[in-house]
Chain A
Amino acid sequence: MSVTFHIREQEATIQVHGHFNFAQHGAFRDACKAVLAQPGVKSVEINLMEVDHLDSSALGMLLVLRDQVEERHIQRLLISNAKPVVRQIFAIAKFDKFFEID
């Protein structure tokens, strides 16, 4: 369970591993902070390839990130590679209304 990130040119990617829940809160917040502190970032991608499950506090963290991304006028926030079980959770919460889910 961890959160990693990298920035290539102007595109930042945050990758979460394992269960995305409250236990990841600190790590996810730190990763977001680091990414958003980089000047010139034009897009943020949340890669959920390694995420098996997420709970409502993870949805909450994503909403917080969405607000921060908007504040910094970053043009694009993308959620990518979500597994079917994770997609299902996004669907129930209608998160496709707030996020570009790839």
Chain B
Amino acid sequence: MQTLNVLVVDDSHVNRLVVSRLIQALGHHVVTAEDGAQALACCETMLPDLILMDVIMPQMDGLEATRRIRERFNKRWIPIIFLTGKIEQEDMLAGLGAGGDDYLTKPVDIKLLTAKIRVMSRIADMQQRISHDAQRLEAYYHSNEMEQQLAEHVLHNLYGDRSQTGIEQWIQPAVQFSGDIITAARSPTDTLHIMLADSTGHGLSAAIACLPAATVFYAMTQKGFGINAIAREINKKLKQHLPVGRFVAATLAAINPQEKTVTVWNGGIPFAAFVNEQGQIEKQFQSSNPPLGILRNMDFDASVDVYRWSEPGRLMICSDGLTEAKGTQDDTLSLEALCSMLASPPGQPALAPLRERVLAHLGGHENADDISLVLAPCTASIGPATPAAQGTVFTQLSNWELRLDFGPKELREELGMATLLGWLNQIGLSEAQLSDLLLIVTELFNNALDHGVLALDSSEKHSSTGFTSYLMKRAGKLFGLQHGWIQVAMSHVTGEDFPILKLCIHDSGQGFDAARFLHSEPDNTALHGRGITLVNRLCRSVRYLENGSRVEVEYVLR
């Protein structure tokens, strides 16, 4: 047994001496006090491991001293044994009530004293271990709390800024961190990109798994990539970085106010739909892919679902935390009923009543899984644009020429625009220039592909009923493409005042009658040929050659 420091409190000198001798004989150290007040003072100097306390003493008796010691040194438990002449039940209860732990009758029996000291020492050991563990646990809790706060701060800033996107969103984490994230950003061509991602599990590890997805989303949106390319890249990143069994279900959506289209790629999200102003589900975008991070990129299907609206509405996306949320009756929410609450003009806030409805459904219970919901207005405009950053000078290369040839394989895999985007992002354009050029290149390249190589009739595309069949025809023709090419040449030359970017796109098709769009005024009611009119306005010159199968434009880099 370890050596203990024992405090003996007794007003009788003889008793103190006898008990002290006994304890010393057992191999422990002894400190003595003559009354309660002295005992308290001793404890102030050094806390003993055990106190043997007489009950009846002048000044301050044993009961009072015990009460005070308990009060004063409440952080650590010290065993206190009362020494008393006789033990009546009442005295015993009073002693235990004051905070004593046991009784010994005088004269002290050495066998009994030895046994009791051993018991108390054992309990004290245990007590100390528990208090040590509690301290460690508390320290862990604090450091964990701090780490969580830091992580929350970082994640919040990373996903935080959704200003100027016009979306409304709600995330209700199941634990401190949500494994669901919502990101939104405008592309340089004023298309709104939204992603709702739900990673395996919840908490910090789930939140971390979403990080690469968010980073790729923002970087590629800013550079003008489409959501299909973004989905493909996120899948690649997650497949590389996450262990098997961890993945991220996600819906990526692009809202294009000019074209009045919603484009969706859905991998594993249970609900994404276009809801009209009457609160009816006009189009539901089913999950047609596994979640991100499971498939090898060669097996990845980046095809998207496109819907064109005739009247404004909202895009609503929510995670399985909402669709599977169990109510008080063990029932789930009706999504039709939720959507019917969206019968209002899409510019107006509409999320709050939906959130109330979901919380009422949960009936005060905590949600078992992260809940996330996003509403995005689908209207003619996505709100005021950010002012373009000024003064980025075209510095990296002064004169260059570049030619890219795309054959059937490249066109089938839609590598054309991705390559051009990559290049446009590297030549040091200002934000405004990039936005203009993305619009020009996208329009001309898509014209060359759709109406040149694939020989699709554009009038069908712009009829209200023909759009879907146009898209299907396009996808079918592209999939089976065996012949054809598009050649893109870009050069940067010194102009009179400003440098000029020359762009020439040449395709293998039969050409088309572009002349009639070139000189007409932009007309918002007719989508037909609007793109070329816009290109004409942005460029210094636009020339169609070789029956329309070759176009040359000049853009001034002011």
Contact = CB atoms under 8 A, between A and B. Distances in A.
Nearest to B246: A60
Interface stretch (A4-12, A36-44, A51-59): A51-59
* Nearest 3 pairs of A and B residues by beta carbon: A60-B245, A64-B245, A94-B290
A22 B201 contact: yes
B268 A94 contact: yes
Contact of A92 (B201, B268, B294): B268
B288 interface: yes
The secondary-structure label for the interface of chain B is loop
B247 A60 contact: yes
Interface of A: 22, 53, 55-57, 59-61, 63-64, 67, 89, 91-95, 97-98
A91 B246 CA distance: 18
18 contacts: A56-B198, A56-B200, A56-B201, A56-B291, A57-B201, A57-B245, A59-B200, A60-B201, A60-B245, A63-B247, A92-B249, A92-B268, A92-B270, A92-B287, A93-B290, A95-B290, A97-B290, A97-B295
Nearest to B294: A63
Contacts of B247: 56, 59-60, 63
A93 B245 contact: no
B244 interface: yes
A61 B245 contact: yes
Contacts of B199: 56
Contacts of A56: 198-201, 247, 249, 291, 320
A93 B291 contact: yes
A91 B291 CA distance: 11
The secondary-structure label for the interface of chain A is helix
A66 to B, nearest CB: 8
B268 A57 contact: no
Contact of B288 (A22, A60, A67, A94): A94
Nearest to B326: A53
Contacts of B35: none
Interface string B235-265: 0000000001111010000000000000000
B268 A60 contact: no
B111 to A, nearest CB: 50
Contacts of B200: 56-57, 59-60
A51 B200 CA distance: 19
A24 to B, nearest CB: 13
Nearest to A93: B268
Interface in B284-324: 287-291, 294-295, 320, 324
Contacts of B233: none
B296 to A, nearest CB: 12
B301 to A, nearest CB: 9
A65 B1 CA distance: 54
B245 A94 contact: no
Contacts of A92: 249, 268-270, 287, 320
B514 to A, nearest CB: 42
Contacts of A89: 320
Contact of A98 (B246, B288, B289, B294): B294
Contacts of B244: 60, 63-64, 67
